[in-house]
Amino acid sequence: MTNNSTTPLEWPDLEPGRSYACEFWVETMLTTQGTPPTQDTDEIDTVGTYTSIGVVRTRDTKNQLATVQDTRTLRDFVVPWSSTRNLDTVEWRTLDN
């Protein structure tokens, strides 16, 4: 994430057509490794707080909610804006083979 501005980004400042990411936390089911379960997960340990970085897919300005795609699990989570921090722009790069 690379916000070149000295002023932190806020949710109302996001411009349509640009890519953003943020840190987020959500209460969800967790495995014994502390990650959200997948279809291949057999053991669920507990409900707890999962924290990660996600790419913003949608935002709901009326209800102050965002859908973020977790960069570790590639799952989408709907989180309130208040459960996010460090909102920043995304710089996409292609991998050289």
Q: What is the pLDDT along the chain (97 residues), one digit of tens a residue?
A: 445 556 789 999 999 999 999 999 999 999 888 888 877 776 777 899 999 999 999 999 999 999 999 999 999 999 999 999 999 999 888 887 6
Angle at 6 between CA 53 and CA 68, to 5 degrees: 20
Are residues 65 and 82 in contact, defined by beta-carbon separation less than 8 angstroms? no
Statement: the pTM of the whole predicted model exceeds 0.85: no
CA distance 53 to 1: 10
